[in-house]
Amino acid sequence: MKKVKDLKRWVDGYNEVKKATEELQLAFDFYKESIVSEEEVDSAYTHVFTLLESMEMKNMLSSEEDHLGAVLKIVSGAGGTESQDWASMLLRMYQRYSERNGFKWIISNYQDGDEAGIKTATLEIEGDMAYGYLKSENGVHRLVRVSPYNAQGKRMTSFASVFVIPLVDDTIEIEVNPALLTWETFRSGGAGGQNVNKVESGVRLRYQYKDPYSGVEEEILIENTETRDQPKNKENALRLLRSQLYDRELQHRMAEKAKVEAGKKKIEWGSQIRSYVFDDRRVKDHRTNYQTSDVQGVMDGKIEEFIKAYLMEFDS
Protein backbone atom coordinates (compact mmCIF):
# COMPACT_ATOMS: atom_id res chain seq x y z
CA MET A 1 0.00 0.00 0.00
CA LYS A 2 2.81 2.41 0.87
CA LYS A 3 4.53 1.71 -2.47
CA VAL A 4 1.28 2.45 -4.31
CA LYS A 5 0.91 5.74 -2.43
CA ASP A 6 4.51 6.69 -3.22
CA LEU A 7 4.03 5.97 -6.93
CA LYS A 8 0.74 7.88 -6.98
CA ARG A 9 2.51 10.87 -5.41
CA TRP A 10 5.00 11.00 -8.29
CA VAL A 11 2.36 10.41 -10.99
CA ASP A 12 0.18 13.17 -9.55
CA GLY A 13 3.19 15.48 -9.37
CA TYR A 14 4.12 14.75 -12.98
CA ASN A 15 0.58 15.40 -14.19
CA GLU A 16 0.46 18.67 -12.27
CA VAL A 17 3.74 19.86 -13.81
CA LYS A 18 2.59 18.75 -17.28
CA LYS A 19 -0.65 20.71 -16.96
CA ALA A 20 1.15 23.81 -15.65
CA THR A 21 3.69 23.63 -18.50
CA GLU A 22 0.91 23.45 -21.08
CA GLU A 23 -0.76 26.47 -19.46
CA LEU A 24 2.55 28.34 -19.59
CA GLN A 25 2.92 27.59 -23.31
CA LEU A 26 -0.65 28.74 -23.91
CA ALA A 27 -0.06 31.95 -21.93
CA PHE A 28 3.09 32.65 -23.96
CA ASP A 29 1.23 32.11 -27.25
CA PHE A 30 -1.52 34.48 -26.11
CA TYR A 31 1.10 37.02 -25.01
CA LYS A 32 2.60 37.07 -28.52
CA GLU A 33 -0.87 37.95 -29.81
CA SER A 34 -1.29 40.63 -27.09
CA ILE A 35 -4.19 38.74 -25.51
CA VAL A 36 -2.59 38.36 -22.06
CA SER A 37 -0.10 40.55 -20.18
CA GLU A 38 3.56 39.88 -19.42
CA GLU A 39 2.62 39.61 -15.74
CA GLU A 40 0.31 36.67 -16.50
CA VAL A 41 3.12 34.87 -18.34
CA ASP A 42 5.46 35.53 -15.41
CA SER A 43 2.85 34.14 -13.02
CA ALA A 44 2.47 30.96 -15.10
CA TYR A 45 6.26 30.55 -15.23
CA THR A 46 6.57 31.00 -11.46
CA HIS A 47 3.90 28.35 -10.93
CA VAL A 48 5.82 25.82 -13.06
CA PHE A 49 9.09 26.67 -11.31
CA THR A 50 7.48 26.25 -7.87
CA LEU A 51 6.06 22.84 -8.79
CA LEU A 52 9.41 21.63 -10.13
CA GLU A 53 11.20 22.89 -7.02
CA SER A 54 8.68 21.06 -4.82
CA MET A 55 9.27 17.81 -6.71
CA GLU A 56 13.03 18.31 -6.43
CA MET A 57 12.74 18.65 -2.64
CA LYS A 58 10.52 15.58 -2.37
CA ASN A 59 13.08 13.64 -4.40
CA MET A 60 15.61 14.32 -1.63
CA LEU A 61 13.30 12.71 0.93
CA SER A 62 13.86 9.01 0.39
CA SER A 63 13.86 7.65 3.96
CA GLU A 64 10.89 5.50 4.93
CA GLU A 65 9.82 7.91 7.67
CA ASP A 66 10.00 11.09 5.56
CA HIS A 67 6.42 10.76 4.27
CA LEU A 68 4.96 10.82 7.80
CA GLY A 69 3.51 13.69 9.77
CA ALA A 70 5.57 15.34 12.50
CA VAL A 71 5.46 15.82 16.26
CA LEU A 72 7.17 19.14 16.97
CA LYS A 73 7.89 20.09 20.58
CA ILE A 74 9.15 23.53 21.62
CA VAL A 75 10.78 24.08 25.03
CA SER A 76 11.86 27.51 26.26
CA GLY A 77 15.42 27.83 27.54
CA ALA A 78 16.79 29.58 30.60
CA GLY A 79 16.00 33.27 30.67
CA GLY A 80 12.50 33.51 32.06
CA THR A 81 9.90 35.60 30.27
CA GLU A 82 12.13 36.55 27.33
CA SER A 83 12.84 32.91 26.46
CA GLN A 84 9.22 31.95 27.01
CA ASP A 85 8.09 34.71 24.67
CA TRP A 86 10.62 33.46 22.11
CA ALA A 87 9.20 29.93 22.39
CA SER A 88 5.70 31.26 21.65
CA MET A 89 7.04 33.13 18.60
CA LEU A 90 8.53 29.88 17.28
CA LEU A 91 5.22 28.11 17.90
CA ARG A 92 3.45 30.71 15.76
CA MET A 93 6.16 30.41 13.08
CA TYR A 94 5.59 26.67 12.70
CA GLN A 95 1.82 27.09 12.74
CA ARG A 96 2.09 29.64 9.90
CA TYR A 97 4.54 27.40 8.01
CA SER A 98 2.11 24.50 8.27
CA GLU A 99 -0.76 26.62 6.97
CA ARG A 100 1.37 27.93 4.09
CA ASN A 101 2.05 24.36 2.99
CA GLY A 102 -1.41 22.89 3.47
CA PHE A 103 -0.55 20.90 6.61
CA LYS A 104 -3.05 20.46 9.43
CA TRP A 105 -1.85 21.13 12.98
CA ILE A 106 -3.20 20.70 16.48
CA ILE A 107 -1.70 21.56 19.86
CA SER A 108 -1.59 18.36 21.92
CA ASN A 109 0.10 19.85 24.98
CA TYR A 110 0.69 23.43 26.12
CA GLN A 111 2.09 25.11 29.23
CA ASP A 112 1.83 28.86 29.73
CA GLY A 113 4.82 31.01 30.57
CA ASP A 114 5.09 32.77 33.92
CA GLU A 115 4.17 36.23 32.59
CA ALA A 116 4.02 35.84 28.81
CA GLY A 117 4.75 33.26 26.15
CA ILE A 118 5.00 29.52 26.78
CA LYS A 119 7.22 27.14 28.70
CA THR A 120 6.49 24.29 26.31
CA ALA A 121 4.09 23.28 23.55
CA THR A 122 3.69 20.23 21.34
CA LEU A 123 2.33 20.44 17.80
CA GLU A 124 1.07 17.46 15.86
CA ILE A 125 1.43 18.30 12.17
CA GLU A 126 -0.28 16.11 9.59
CA GLY A 127 0.49 16.26 5.89
CA ASP A 128 2.47 14.51 3.19
CA MET A 129 6.22 14.79 3.89
CA ALA A 130 5.70 16.99 6.98
CA TYR A 131 8.39 15.11 8.93
CA GLY A 132 10.73 14.99 5.95
CA TYR A 133 10.72 18.77 5.78
CA LEU A 134 10.51 19.67 9.47
CA LYS A 135 13.23 17.30 10.68
CA SER A 136 15.61 20.08 9.62
CA GLU A 137 14.24 22.27 12.44
CA ASN A 138 15.49 20.01 15.21
CA GLY A 139 17.92 21.84 17.50
CA VAL A 140 18.44 25.05 19.47
CA HIS A 141 17.11 28.32 18.04
CA ARG A 142 18.75 31.55 19.27
CA LEU A 143 17.09 34.97 19.43
CA VAL A 144 18.98 38.27 19.78
CA ARG A 145 16.91 41.43 20.22
CA VAL A 146 16.26 44.46 22.39
CA SER A 147 13.88 42.86 24.85
CA PRO A 148 10.54 44.53 25.64
CA TYR A 149 10.79 42.79 29.02
CA ASN A 150 14.04 44.53 29.97
CA ALA A 151 13.54 47.90 31.68
CA GLN A 152 16.98 49.12 30.56
CA GLY A 153 16.23 48.32 26.92
CA LYS A 154 19.27 46.07 26.67
CA ARG A 155 19.98 43.67 23.85
CA MET A 156 19.33 40.16 25.13
CA THR A 157 19.99 36.63 23.90
CA SER A 158 17.55 33.82 24.55
CA PHE A 159 17.15 30.24 23.42
CA ALA A 160 14.46 27.67 22.74
CA SER A 161 14.85 24.02 21.79
CA VAL A 162 12.86 22.35 19.03
CA PHE A 163 12.49 18.56 18.96
CA VAL A 164 10.99 16.88 15.89
CA ILE A 165 10.03 13.21 15.59
CA PRO A 166 7.85 11.31 13.07
CA LEU A 167 4.13 11.08 13.80
CA VAL A 168 3.35 7.41 13.28
CA ASP A 169 0.29 6.31 11.35
CA ASP A 170 -1.52 2.99 10.95
CA THR A 171 1.11 1.71 8.50
CA ILE A 172 3.78 1.67 11.23
CA GLU A 173 3.76 -1.28 13.64
CA ILE A 174 5.14 -0.38 17.07
CA GLU A 175 4.75 -2.71 20.05
CA VAL A 176 3.71 -1.12 23.36
CA ASN A 177 3.82 -3.34 26.46
CA PRO A 178 0.72 -2.52 28.58
CA ALA A 179 2.48 -3.86 31.70
CA LEU A 180 4.98 -1.00 31.47
CA LEU A 181 2.26 1.67 31.26
CA THR A 182 0.77 3.74 34.08
CA TRP A 183 -1.81 6.51 33.76
CA GLU A 184 -2.68 9.63 35.73
CA THR A 185 -5.45 12.13 35.07
CA PHE A 186 -5.69 15.84 35.83
CA ARG A 187 -7.80 18.88 35.10
CA SER A 188 -6.72 20.65 31.95
CA GLY A 189 -7.21 23.97 30.21
CA GLY A 190 -6.78 25.11 26.65
CA ALA A 191 -3.91 27.11 25.23
CA GLY A 192 -3.36 30.28 27.18
CA GLY A 193 -5.05 28.92 30.29
CA GLN A 194 -8.54 29.18 28.80
CA ASN A 195 -11.53 26.94 29.52
CA VAL A 196 -10.24 25.05 32.54
CA ASN A 197 -12.13 21.77 32.80
CA LYS A 198 -14.10 20.81 35.89
CA VAL A 199 -13.39 17.15 35.14
CA GLU A 200 -10.05 15.40 34.87
CA SER A 201 -9.83 15.07 31.09
CA GLY A 202 -6.05 15.63 30.87
CA VAL A 203 -3.97 12.45 30.87
CA ARG A 204 -0.38 11.76 31.87
CA LEU A 205 1.24 8.60 30.53
CA ARG A 206 4.36 7.03 32.06
CA TYR A 207 6.14 4.26 30.18
CA GLN A 208 9.10 2.34 31.60
CA TYR A 209 11.29 1.99 28.54
CA LYS A 210 14.41 -0.16 28.22
CA ASP A 211 16.64 0.41 25.21
CA PRO A 212 16.97 -2.99 23.48
CA TYR A 213 20.46 -2.12 22.24
CA SER A 214 22.14 -0.45 25.22
CA GLY A 215 19.99 -1.77 28.07
CA VAL A 216 19.58 1.78 29.43
CA GLU A 217 16.27 2.29 31.23
CA GLU A 218 14.27 5.51 31.27
CA GLU A 219 10.77 6.72 31.96
CA ILE A 220 8.95 8.29 29.02
CA LEU A 221 6.46 10.92 30.20
CA ILE A 222 3.71 12.19 27.89
CA GLU A 223 0.85 14.56 28.72
CA ASN A 224 -2.14 15.15 26.47
CA THR A 225 -4.81 17.81 26.90
CA GLU A 226 -5.92 17.93 23.29
CA THR A 227 -9.64 17.40 23.88
CA ARG A 228 -12.15 17.39 26.75
CA ASP A 229 -12.67 13.66 26.22
CA GLN A 230 -10.40 11.58 28.46
CA PRO A 231 -10.53 8.36 26.36
CA LYS A 232 -9.64 10.37 23.25
CA ASN A 233 -6.73 12.00 25.07
CA LYS A 234 -5.51 8.55 26.13
CA GLU A 235 -5.66 7.42 22.51
CA ASN A 236 -3.69 10.48 21.43
CA ALA A 237 -1.10 9.97 24.19
CA LEU A 238 -0.56 6.38 23.04
CA ARG A 239 -0.05 7.61 19.50
CA LEU A 240 2.61 10.03 20.73
CA LEU A 241 4.25 7.21 22.70
CA ARG A 242 4.39 5.06 19.58
CA SER A 243 5.92 8.00 17.73
CA GLN A 244 8.65 8.32 20.37
CA LEU A 245 9.41 4.59 20.33
CA TYR A 246 9.59 4.66 16.54
CA ASP A 247 11.94 7.63 16.68
CA ARG A 248 14.26 5.81 19.09
CA GLU A 249 14.55 2.96 16.61
CA LEU A 250 15.27 5.45 13.82
CA GLN A 251 17.98 7.13 15.89
CA HIS A 252 19.67 3.76 16.41
CA ARG A 253 19.61 3.08 12.68
CA MET A 254 21.01 6.54 11.96
CA ALA A 255 23.80 6.04 14.49
CA GLU A 256 24.74 2.74 12.87
CA LYS A 257 24.68 4.36 9.45
CA ALA A 258 26.90 7.20 10.71
CA LYS A 259 29.49 4.66 11.83
CA VAL A 260 29.60 3.24 8.32
CA GLU A 261 29.66 6.66 6.67
CA ALA A 262 32.22 8.10 9.07
CA GLY A 263 33.22 10.77 6.61
CA LYS A 264 29.76 12.27 6.39
CA LYS A 265 29.13 15.36 8.50
CA LYS A 266 26.95 14.61 11.51
CA ILE A 267 24.29 16.90 12.92
CA GLU A 268 24.00 16.62 16.69
CA TRP A 269 20.61 16.81 18.39
CA GLY A 270 20.47 19.81 20.66
CA SER A 271 23.09 21.78 18.73
CA GLN A 272 22.51 25.46 18.03
CA ILE A 273 21.24 25.51 14.47
CA ARG A 274 19.97 29.01 13.74
CA SER A 275 20.25 32.60 14.97
CA TYR A 276 17.52 35.21 14.60
CA VAL A 277 19.08 38.67 15.08
CA PHE A 278 16.18 41.08 14.95
CA ASP A 279 18.07 44.39 15.22
CA ASP A 280 20.46 43.48 12.40
CA ARG A 281 17.59 42.07 10.31
CA ARG A 282 19.31 38.75 9.85
CA VAL A 283 18.37 35.09 10.25
CA LYS A 284 21.26 32.68 9.69
CA ASP A 285 21.43 28.89 9.70
CA HIS A 286 24.77 27.78 11.16
CA ARG A 287 24.71 24.37 9.46
CA THR A 288 24.31 25.55 5.88
CA ASN A 289 25.27 29.25 6.20
CA TYR A 290 22.04 30.18 4.40
CA GLN A 291 20.76 33.53 5.64
CA THR A 292 18.10 36.10 4.86
CA SER A 293 17.24 39.65 5.88
CA ASP A 294 13.50 38.93 5.71
CA VAL A 295 13.10 38.47 9.46
CA GLN A 296 9.36 39.17 9.44
CA GLY A 297 8.79 36.73 6.59
CA VAL A 298 10.63 34.01 8.51
CA MET A 299 8.60 34.64 11.65
CA ASP A 300 5.47 34.41 9.49
CA GLY A 301 6.46 30.87 8.52
CA LYS A 302 8.52 31.52 5.40
CA ILE A 303 11.23 28.96 6.21
CA GLU A 304 11.17 26.89 3.01
CA GLU A 305 14.57 28.15 1.83
CA PHE A 306 16.19 27.12 5.13
CA ILE A 307 14.66 23.66 4.76
CA LYS A 308 15.76 23.39 1.13
CA ALA A 309 19.34 24.39 2.00
CA TYR A 310 19.44 21.76 4.74
CA LEU A 311 18.08 19.00 2.52
CA MET A 312 20.50 19.84 -0.29
CA GLU A 313 23.43 19.71 2.14
CA PHE A 314 22.53 16.67 4.22
CA ASP A 315 19.85 14.63 2.43
CA SER A 316 20.78 14.89 -1.24
Same domain for 108 and 246, yes or no, is no
Domain shared by 254 and 297, yes or no: no
In a domain, 277, yes or no: yes
Same domain, 22 and 139: no
178 domain-assigned: no
Amino acid 135 reads: K
pLDDT in tens, the chain (316 residues): 556 666 676 788 788 888 989 888 988 888 888 888 999 989 998 988 888 877 777 777 878 889 899 999 999 998 789 999 999 999 999 999 999 999 999 999 889 999 999 999 999 999 989 999 999 999 999 999 999 988 788 899 999 999 999 998 777 788 899 999 999 999 876 554 444 456 788 999 999 999 988 889 999 999 999 888 999 999 999 999 999 999 998 888 877 766 554 433 343 444 789 999 999 999 999 999 999 999 999 999 999 999 999 998 887 6
156 and 97 in a common domain: yes
Report yes or no on 238 lying in a domain: yes
Number of domains in the chain: 3
Do 252 and 298 belong to one domain? no
Indicate which CATH number applies to the domain containing 114.
3.30.70.1660
pTM, two decimals, is 0.75
Q: Does 160 fall in a domain?
A: yes
Per-residue pLDDT, 78: 83
* b/e per residue 165-182 (b: at least 16 CB within 10 A): bbbbeeebeeeeeeeeee
109 and 95 within one domain: yes
Same domain, 234 and 304: no
Are residues 292 and 163 part of one domain? yes
Residues 158 and 32 in one domain: no
pLDDT for residue 192? 44
For residue 33, give its domain range.
2-60
Ramachandran bin of 7, using left for φ above 0, alpha for ψ from -120 to 50, beta for the remaining angles: alpha
Asked whether residue 164 falls in the same domain as residue 297, the answer is: yes
Q: What is the dihedral of CA 148, 150, 151, 152, to 10 degrees?
A: -110
Provide the terminal-to-terminal Cα distance of the chain, rounded to the nearest Å.
26
Residues 188 and 271 in one domain: no
CATH label of the domain that carries residue 188: 3.30.160
Whole-number pLDDT of residue 195:
47
| 297 shares its domain with 242 | no
pLDDT tens for 207-250 read: 999 998 888 999 999 999 988 899 999 999 999 999 999 999 88
